[in-house]
A and B are shown apart, each in its own frame.
Chain A
Amino acid sequence: MTWPGHDSNLSCDAAHEQITLLLYGELSDEACHRLEQHLAGCADCRDELEVTRALSSAMAILPVREPSPNLIAQTRLKIDEALEQAPRDSWLAHFRRSLWTDFRLLRTAPLAAATMLFAGVGLGFVGIRVTTPSPAPTSSSVESIPPQRIAAVTGVRQDPTGLVHVEYSSLMPLEAVGPVDDPNIRYLLLLGTRAPLNTSVQNAALGLLTNSCVGTVDCGADDSVRNALMVALRYDPHTNVREQALNGLAPYLAEDMHVRDAVLEAVLNDGDPQVRAQAIHMLAPVAADSSVQQVLQNVATHDGNPLLRNVSRNMLQQMPQVQ
């Protein structure tokens, strides 16, 4: 129903809501003007205005009380007590402190510190970096941390204010300095052979490890260096790393059957012809081995790469015949 002067663009339902907003001071000037025009021609809505005012008056029965001075004082005391007992540091501050503790420990007790620092990582991502330690990330600068520096996301929660907290562990660049035969340095070099994002680091680590074995049979008390080289030869996706690993395995060929088998496997299956050719040349000292000759015969006869067929044939011709 439309009254004379009634703004036909404003429904009574909408007018009722605007009356509420009006009395709360939330109505724009333009909307107020439209409401006035509507009210001028709508008795029902004028009645609604009165009812809404009456409701407001009724609500005044429950006034907002100011807290008493006693209540304020007691509350302040309780807050003070609670703050005295509350730990201020967030997990980030604890994490930051523990990293600083680890760093100081590294400088004063290399063995213990290296073990502690890298035992938890155990992912083979650590490389030898010649960098100074950078400040630990804060919540406000988390977006500036490169993804490769983030080790893992360990927790997600939302706080009462609606902010999201994501706990994560990050890699802190540090530096260890020492001779190549230092156990801690060798341990770090071994981890460095598995650094997937930085082949120069891998090569440097492999080179240092293999050079330290030149002229020696025993490269340390355990097989760690040999194993690292074999893993790199077998699994590393980078050609130059596998070539470096082959170089490093040369001293082991004469005495170690596992190494010999790994080199033979590289001759047959490596994806790069250069690596396969290098492996073939490496087998010269052990040419008398029947397994070696069998593999070379196979390559010389059936291999799809003519260069490798030639290399194998040449090697066989230089070899003494097996009795």
Chain B
Amino acid sequence: MGTEALRIQPGLQSTALPANRASQTWPGRRSVQTRSAGTMSPEDRASETELIRQAQKGSRQAFDTLVRQYDQAVLRLALHLLGSETDAQDIAQEAFLKAYRYLANFRFECSFYTWIYRIVTNLCLDLMRRRKTRREDPAVVMDSSGEELDLLGMVSDERASANPGRELERKELGAKIATALDKLTPRERMVFELKHYQGLRLRTIGEMLNTTEETAKNTLFRATKKLRASLAVVR
């Protein structure tokens, strides 16, 4: 479609499709600056390959460099998914420990980014499943000192002080959304997180979760349908 706007019927302006589909950004979706296989230049990729090989040979310094390249992205994912700084920290620590232990098994059949995310998503899925089994309240968010955080209080709205009523609505909506996300299965939650919030391609998501792109797509559809049903068509 390129940059042409869809010719629409009069009075139906709201149905215009995005002019540039490739860069369409959902409101709320952050512009992800994570490294991905598709965005690395050949020079960056060669540099990372050498770094991995050095780490495989036993260079701790090389491995530390790899950690620095990916730890923020890992924390970001775990933090948004789990809602707890403590849990996010534990996941990051365990993920990089596993990467260190099994680095010799990494044979460049995928990007290191995909590989580390595979470890992280598996760890997060395990934790989410355990939470569901224990029926923990996912809406309770803790910071690293163990204090409860008001997640909804972090929603930026410069007009909050001027419009307390609207602020209350937003908080109520936030609680509903958190509840709706919790109704998803761990896998649906993960796919939705990776697609909607982290902005990854469905193909990449399939690789990370050891499944196909088609399966990831269907999981995403199920997740969005469930969310729609839970939120009763929010407008």
Across the interface, which residues of B come within 8 angstroms of A109, CB to CB? none
CB nearest neighbor in B for A60: B28
CB nearest neighbor in B for A28: B21
By the criterion CB–CB under 8 Å, are A78 and B93 in contact? yes
By the criterion CB–CB under 8 Å, are A88 and B72 in contact? no
With A21-B217, A33-B1, A74-B144: A66-B76 Cβ-Cβ less than 8 Å:
yes
A85 to chain B, nearest CB (A): 9
Q: Is A153 an interface residue (CB 8 A)?
A: no
By the criterion CB–CB under 8 Å, are A161 and B118 in contact? yes
By the criterion CB–CB under 8 Å, are A61 and B173 in contact? yes
Q: Is A160 an interface residue (CB 8 A)?
A: yes
Q: Is B163 an interface residue (CB 8 A)?
A: no
By the criterion CB–CB under 8 Å, are B80 and A64 in contact? yes
Q: Is A257 an interface residue (CB 8 A)?
A: no
Interface residues of B in 117-170 (CB under 8 A from A): 118-119, 122-123, 144, 151-152, 154-156, 170
CB nearest neighbor in A for B12: A46
A35 to B21: give the CA distance in the assembly, Å. Answer: 13
Across the interface, which residues of B come within 8 angstroms of A20, CB to CB? 220-221, 224
Q: Is B178 an interface residue (CB 8 A)?
A: yes
Across the interface, which residues of B come within 8 angstroms of A71, CB to CB? 75, 79, 85, 88-89, 144
A11 to chain B, nearest CB (A): 14
By the criterion CB–CB under 8 Å, are B220 and A55 in contact? no
By the criterion CB–CB under 8 Å, are B67 and A79 in contact? yes
Across the interface, which residues of B come within 8 angstroms of A64, CB to CB? 30, 76, 80, 197-198
Contact bitstring A149-165, B, C-beta under 8 A = 1, else 0: 00000000001111101
By the criterion CB–CB under 8 Å, are A161 and B122 in contact? yes
A258 to chain B, nearest CB (A): 54
By the criterion CB–CB under 8 Å, are A56 and B75 in contact? no
Choose from B89, B119, B152 the contact partner of A78 (Cβ within 8 Å).
B89
Q: Is A94 an interface residue (CB 8 A)?
A: no
Point out which of A40, A76, A139 has the most chain B C-beta atoms below 10 A from its C-beta.
Answer: A76
A19 to B122: give the CA distance in the assembly, Å. Answer: 29
Across the interface, which residues of A come within 8 angstroms of B92, CB to CB? 75, 79
By the criterion CB–CB under 8 Å, are A75 and B24 in contact? no
Across the interface, which residues of B come within 8 angstroms of A22, CB to CB? 17-18, 21, 24
By the criterion CB–CB under 8 Å, are A160 and B123 in contact? yes
B81 to chain A, nearest CB (A): 10
Choose from B15, B27, B151 the contact partner of A57 (Cβ within 8 Å).
B27
By the criterion CB–CB under 8 Å, are B119 and A160 in contact? yes
Contact bitstring A54-73, B, C-beta under 8 A = 1, else 0: 11111111111111000110
CB nearest neighbor in A for B89: A75
With A76-B67, A161-B122: A63-B154 Cβ-Cβ less than 8 Å:
yes
By the criterion CB–CB under 8 Å, are B93 and A79 in contact? yes
By the criterion CB–CB under 8 Å, are B234 and A54 in contact? yes
By the criterion CB–CB under 8 Å, are A90 and B101 in contact? yes
Interface residues of B (CB under 8 A from A): 1, 6, 8-9, 12, 14-15, 17-18, 21-24, 26-30, 58, 60, 63-64, 67-68, 71-72, 75-76, 79-80, 85, 88-89, 92-93, 96-98, 100-102, 104-105, 107, 115, 118-119, 122-123, 144, 151-152, 154-156, 170, 173-174, 177-178, 181, 195-198, 201-202, 210, 217, 220-221, 224, 227-228, 231, 233-235
8 contacts between A and B (CB under 8 A): A22-B17, A29-B1, A33-B1, A54-B235, A79-B71, A139-B105, A159-B102, A162-B210
Given A55-B233, A59-B197, list of 4 further CB < 8 A pairs?
A20-B221, A26-B217, A79-B71, A82-B93
